[in-house]
Structure 1
Amino acid sequence: MRQVHAVMLLLTAILVSACSTTPDRYANSGASEEDALESYTSLGLQYLRAGDTAGAKGPLQRALAIDDDYAPAYNALALVFQAEQDLGLAEDYFRKAISADSQSAMIHNNFGAFLFSQERYDEACVELARATEDPFYQARAQAFENLGRCYRRTGRDAVAEHALKRALTLQRQRPLALVELADLKLEQGNNTEAAALFDRFRELVDSKRVNHFPLSLWVGVRVARYEGNASRAATYALLLKNMYPESNEYRLYKESAQ
Structure 2
Amino acid sequence: MLRSLLLLVLLISGCATQAPWEKTDPQRQAEAYANLGMGYLREEEYTRSLRNFNRALEVRPEHEKALHGMALALQAQAENQLAENYFKKVLQVNPRNTAARNNYAAFLFEQNRYDEARIQLQRASEDIFYSDRALIFENLGYVALEQNDPEAAKVFFKRCLTLDARAVNAHRELLRLYLPDDPQKASNHWQFLQEADIQDKDSLTLGLELAKITGNQQEQERLQQLLANH
Which of 186, 193, 197 is the equivalent residue of 2:185? Answer: 193
- The separation in 1 between residues aligned to 2:18 and 2:130, in whole angstroms, is 30
| Greater RCO, 1 or 2 (C-alpha within 8 Å, sep 6+) | 2
- Whether 1:219 aligns to 2:206 is yes
CA–CA distance in 1 between the matches of 2:48 and 2:201?
32
SS in structure 2 of the partner of residue 155 of structure 1: coil
Deviations 1:130-175 (A, max 9, x none): 1111011111110111011111211222322221111111111112
Distance 1:71 1:205 in 2: 40
Q: For the structure 1 residues 36 and 150, does the alpha-carbon distance in structure 2 shift closer, same or farther, using more than 3 Å as the test?
A: same
Cα RMSD (Å)? 2.5
**Fraction of identical pairs, as percent:** 31
Query: After superposition, what is the alpha-carbon deviation per residue over 1:43-68, rounded to whole angstroms, capped at 9, x for unaligned?
Result: 21111112222221122112111221
1:197 and 1:34 mapped to 2: Cα distance? 48
For the residue of structure 1 that corresponds to 2:136, the secondary structure is helix
Is residue 161 of structure 1 aligned with residue 148 of structure 2? no
Following the alignment from structure 2 to structure 1, what is the Cα–Cα distance between the partners of residues 177 and 82? 35
Runs of 4+ in 1 over 6 A off after TM superposition: none
1:192 Cα deviation after fit: 1.6
Q: What is the CA distance between 1:232 and its match in structure 2?
A: 3.5
Residue matched to 2:105: 112
Question: Matched residue of 1:58: which SS?
Answer: helix
- 1:40 is matched with 33
Deviation at 1:113, TM superposition (A): 1.3
**Residue pairs, 1:106-255, within 5 angstroms:** 106-187=99-180, 189-206=181-198, 212=200, 214=202, 216-227=203-214, 228=216, 229-235=219-225, 238=228
Q: TM-score, normalised by structure 2?
A: 0.81
Q: For 1:175 and 1:25, how far apart are their aligned partners in 2?
A: 46
Q: Secondary structure at the match of 2:106?
A: helix
Give yes or no for contact 1:105–1:133 (8 Å, CA) kept in 2: no
Is 2:75 the partner of 1:85? no
Q: Distance in 2 between matches of 1:236 and 1:220?
A: 11
Between the aligned partners of 1:213 and 1:43, the Cα distance in structure 2 is 38
Which whole-Å deviations, capped at 9, do the CAs of 1:178-230 have from their partners, x for residues lacking one?
1111111114x111211221232344445xxxx7264x344233223234222
- CA change 1:90–1:199 in 2 (3 A) is farther
Amino acid at match of 2:115: D
Per the alignment, do residues 53 and 185 of structure 1 end up closer, same or farther by CA in structure 2, a change over 3 Å counting?
A: same
User: What is the aligned residue count?
Assistant: 214
Contact 2:204 / 2:223 at 8 angstroms: preserved in 1? no
Tell me the alpha carbon deviations over residues 51-94 of structure 1, each in whole angstroms, 9 at most, x when there is no partner: 22222112211211122122321111111122223323222221
| Distance (whole Å) between structure 1 residues aligned to residue 205 and residue 110 of structure 2 | 21
Q: CA deviation at 1:110?
A: 0.6
Residues 236 and 223 from structure 1, CA distance in 2 versus in 1: closer, same or farther, beyond 3 angstroms? farther
Report matched runs for 1:63-82 at 5 Å: 63-82=56-75
SS at match of 1:160: helix
Normalising to structure 1: TM-score of the pair?
0.73
Inter-CA distance 151–42: structure 2 relative to 1 (3 Å threshold): same
Which structure 2 residue ranges, 5 or more long, are not aligned?
1-13
Structure 1 distance, partners of 2:226, 2:148, is 27
- For 1:42 and 1:160, locate their aligned partners in 2 and report how far apart those are by CA, in whole Å: 36
The code of the aligned residue for 1:152 comes to L
CA contact (8 A) 2:27 2:60 kept: no
